[in-house]
Structure 1
Amino acid sequence: MKWSDGVPFTADDIIFWYKDIILNDELTPAKPSWMIVGGKLGEVEKIDDYTVRLHFVQPYGVLLDSLAIYGGQGGFFAPRHYLKQFHPNYTSEERLEKMVKEEGFNYWYQLFMAKNDWIQNPDLPTLRAWKPINEPTATHWIMERNPYYWKVDTAGNQLPYLDRVTHVLAEDPEVINLKAMAGELDFQLRHLMLNNYPMFMEASEKGNYRVVTWESGFGSDVAFSPNLTYKGDPVLRDIIRDRRFRIALSLAINREEINELCYLGLGEIRAATVPPQNPAYREEFGKKYIEYNPERANALLDEMGLRWDKDHKYRLRPDGKTLSLTIEVVAGIFGPWVDASELVKEYWEEIGIKTAVKTEERALWYQRLYAGEIQVAVWSFGQVLFPIIRGLRLIPFARECPFAPLIGEWYVSRGKSGVEPWGDLKKVLDLWEKAKLTVDREKRIQLTQEILRINAENVWNIGILRAPATMCMGVLKNNFRNVPEVALSDTNLNSPGNANPPQFFFKQK
């Protein structure tokens, strides 16, 4: 195997990733969770030019699965021959400082991370099928075939078939939908809106394209996650931490109405759990607290002592203030999340909770999530297809965990910052650690089911429905071939990467 610049790919590229990137606290202050077993970071040893050995303090039952998801470029190896020029272990301080200033950075590690970003740096060697040749901010972001790509087809033909891939920069998702509908795009799988499905079908003949629908690997298309580590208001945080409150929030939601108004009636009402494709799935997990029962929701809030104000409009907190929640949602990137949020606002206000919906840009949403500043986070309930490998919507082992981001921070910092887990939150982390170590598949499924049971009982995430296949639709020009009509679309599979894009081609007349 060779990098895209023709330099051989060897064990040194893996050792460089481990010793010079992962073990460097300036580059990697929070170590990758998949490399931590038994509370300790694993070690990587070079055996020869093409062999490495990984050492962990305990057996690691899902190592190969973890490598399959996390172990790509940047996740398990990096081009040492190129990146070492930006690293103080290989370059003089004087030369490094000069490059840092020339590139407009303050510190060497900022320069290094920029150079190790394949999207931002076209010069970075890659093992991927295509590599960018210009900046992603360009109107047309172009990728050209890697001449040293390491795959061939069954007839021995060099892959990829396509010499060039061009991404067209769009100002918002609606522009993407209009371009796809007009037949201006050869292939588009992301950001196509469900409510446009009838129009896509109607315009397909004129646009000379076909519509494919892939099944979703998400547990719920949209989920509402009250933040148990919200740091802006201790009184509200303690209310959110009361399980009865979260159950009440779930029971107050009319999911059938959301399905009809936002999903064309095509969704399947479902709590936030793994999809049926996972062997640990149980129907009872998907049915927990999803009935529309505002009467019971009100009874639970009464039981908590959250009494109504004198006008019987809103409930009051223990400190006498109006009980209010803010839902934060990213607008228009994947599904009708804003519309669903507005309906949830109505349902929660009917049980006395003053609710606001705040839409914001994706980067800001993540920034606020990581800081513990979001009260109720809205996102898809994805990355749960392989919960022991990457179940950060179910287990708070990373800051991306929407219901406890500061516990995720505590985990990745190994207790140096964040919020220490307690009760069932600690239990699911312990079960997750145990499941990672388990080499027996059936035992691992049992441990996963216990994690799912605890999640369902605690309602840490409030699911709405499982998306219909039309939610994962793609628009393809009729001459764009070798794309499966049926597949599974999921973040963990890097869809459409699981459909083998290097083998996509244009059919010649």
Structure 2
Amino acid sequence: VDTRGVQLPYVDVVEMTVVGGGLIAAKANAGEVDLQARGLDFSDVSILKKGELEGGNYRTLLWANGAASQIAIYPNLNFTDPVWRGVMRDARFRRALSLGIDRRMINRALYFGMATEGGMTALSTSPLHDPAFLHAWAEFDLEKANALLDEMGLTERTPSGLRKLPDGRPMEFVIETAGERQEVENALTIITDTWRELGIRLILRPLDRDILRNRVYAGVSMAAVWFGWDNGLPTADTSPMYLAPTNQEFFSWPKWGQYYQTSGEAGEPPDMTAAKRLMALSRAWNSARNTAERTLIWREMLAIHADRQFAIGILSEAPQPVVAASGLYNVPEQAIWA
């Protein structure tokens, strides 16, 4: 009902049309949708706002994004290549990769500086947010990153300056993407340049979404890029299972997730100390007696992720464009897209 108590009309029909991802912003700009957020990215805001000002029968809202990270890189700790798996399981390598990302440059280039720069953790509006977790290993520091890689013993290089793996192969780090978001490719292009200063060649491999997931689950993908945790706004009473290796959808440990999901019939049991601790904490949360105990468990789990960099977050909290037709009411101006 409106402010005068008059009953407003219901939405009595919902029509959903399947189109190519590249057409969604154009169709929204042409006034062909009543409510649209899925398939729209921050880069679409300018054309949507322009269409709105030029008489488009819609309005463009900017909602907060509830994902823990807009873009996150997932080194596959269950990768079938034993040499690469050994390198990626060393936390110093994952920390070096994170330190080698110029998040400020990516933020300015892709989001006009409106995103939050840092690793993957609870967002600023979550009661579990801790700035120390956000900034852990997230400053751009090539000298420190190179020192970590040297400390690992990865000091030998090819004539072109690439570091060598322990078996002598050049360090070529392959990241697979679903090829659906232009900002991902743009961010990885920037990262390619800075990682080259670490002696690492980044190779981007776009794949179909289903093929990408199946490769990750099978352990044949070295690394993948995706959003961060779907829920970046947890409270102490939110289950922390998604921070533990309980699900293959977390691309850093698909085999461990399969092991949990199938009660040991598939996958591999976690064999890293930090991963085992996350599992123990997840179980402890289930039997915690009060919110204070659950808060302590959450904070330790977030601290482990921040320190171990299981997934390397890049940016978070970039506004999500939402197109709403002018005649559609009760659409909130401020909300969370998640």
TM range (shorter): over 0.9
Deviates more, 1:190-199 or 1:294-303: 190-199
Partner of 1:237: 85
Deviation at 1:278, TM superposition (A): 2.4
**Counterpart Cα distance in 1 of 2:58 and 2:124:** 31
Give the Cα separation in 1 of the matches to 2:329 and 2:120: 35
Corresponding letter in the other structure for 1:223: A
1:200–1:377 Cα change, 3 Å: same
1:368 to 179, 193, 215: 215
Query: In structure 2, how many angstroms separate the alpha carbons of the residues matched to 1:452 and 1:278?
Result: 12
Match of 2:137 among 276, 289, 292: 289
- Deviation for aligned residue 1:259: 0.9
- DSSP-derived class of the 1:210 partner: strand
In the alignment, the residues of structure 2 paired with residue 241 and residue 211 of structure 1 have an alpha-carbon distance, to the nearest angstrom, of 44
2:314 is matched with which residue: 454, 460, 464?
464
Determine whether 1:192 maps to 2:40. yes
Aligned counterpart, 1:222: 71
Q: Distance in 2 between matches of 1:398 and 1:228?
A: 14
AA in 2 matched with 1:238: G
Partner of residue 323 from structure 1, selected from 165, 171, 175: 171
Secondary structure of the corresponding residue to residue 70 of structure 2 = strand
Given that 1:307 and 1:316 are in contact with CA atoms closer than 8 Å, whether structure 2 keeps it comes out as yes
Q: Which amino acid aligns with 2:178?
A: V
State whether residues 220 and 381 of structure 1, in contact with CA within 8 Å, keep that contact through their aligned partners in structure 2: yes
Q: How does 1:400-419 map to 2 (within 5 A)?
A: 400-419=249-268
d(CA) in 1 for partners of 2:203 and 2:246? 29
Moved more, 247-256 or 190-199: 190-199
Residue equivalent to 1:489: 337
The structural deviation recorded for 1:339 is 1.1
Q: Structure 1 CA distance, aligned partners of 2:241 and 2:84?
A: 24
Structure 1, residues 325-359: CA drift from partner, whole Å, max 9, x if none?
100111234x6111112222222222111221011
Pick one of 271, 278, 281 that aligns with 2:126: 278
Q: Secondary structure at the match of 2:16?
A: strand
Deviations 1:429-466 (A, max 9, x none): 11011112224112101100000001111011111111
Cα distance change on mapping 1:393 and 1:465 into 2, 3 Å: farther
2:305 to 447, 455, 458: 455
Amino acid at match of 1:377: A
> Within 5 Å, which residues of 2 pair with 1:311-350?
311-333=159-181, 336-350=183-197
Task: Return the letter of the residue paired with 1:317.
Answer: L
Kept in 1, the 8 Å contact 2:178–2:208? The answer is yes
**Superposition RMSD in Å:** 2.0
Alignment of 1:472-483 (within 5 A): 472-483=320-331
- 8 A Cα contact 1:214 1:487, kept in partner: yes
Aligned to 1:434: 284
What amino acid is aligned across from residue 445 of structure 1 in structure 2?
T
Cα distance in 2 for partners of 1:209, 1:457 equals 45
Looking at structure 2, the residues matched to 373 and 222 of structure 1 have their Cα atoms a distance apart, in angstroms, of 21
Flag the 1:373–1:455 CA change in 2: closer, same or farther, 3 A.
same
Deviation of residue 389 (structure 1)?
4.9
The answer to whether structure 1 residue 164 and structure 2 residue 13 are counterparts is yes
- Give the Cα–Cα distance (whole angstroms) in 1 for the partners of residues 58 and 147 of structure 2: 53
Q: Which moved more, 1:294-303 or 1:274-283?
A: 274-283
Question: What's the CA shift for 1:207?
Answer: 1.2
Counterpart in 1 of 2:60? 211
Aligned twin of 1:354:
201
**1:378 corresponds to which residue?**
225
Any conservation in 2 of the 1:383–1:393 contact (CA below 8 Å)? no
Runs of 4+ in 1 over 4 A off after TM superposition: 387-393
- Residue 243 (structure 2) aligned to one of 394, 397, 407: 394
Residue 393 of structure 1: how far off its partner (Å): 5.5
Preserved CA contact (<8 Å) 1:255 1:292: yes
Cα gap change, 1:447 to 1:392, in 2 (>3 Å): closer
Aligned position for 2:295? 445
Instruction: Give unpaired runs (5+ residues) of structure 1.
Output: 1-154, 491-509
Letter matched to residue 224 of structure 1: I
Q: 1:269 aligns with which of 117, 120, 123?
A: 117
Q: Structure 1 vs Structure 2: percent identity of aligned residues? A: 32
Q: Looking at CA atoms only, which structure, 1 or 2, has the larger radius of gyration?
A: 1
**What's the TM-score once normalised by structure 1's chain length?**
0.62
Q: Distance in 1 between matches of 2:84 and 2:118?
A: 27
Shift of 1:403: 1.0
Displacement after TM superposition at 1:310 (Å): 4.4
Q: Is the 8 A contact 1:269 1:466 kept in 2?
A: yes
Provide the secondary structure at the position in 2 that maps to 1:418. Answer: coil
**Aligned pairs, number:** 330
- Cα distance in 1 for residues equivalent to 2:290 and 2:9: 38
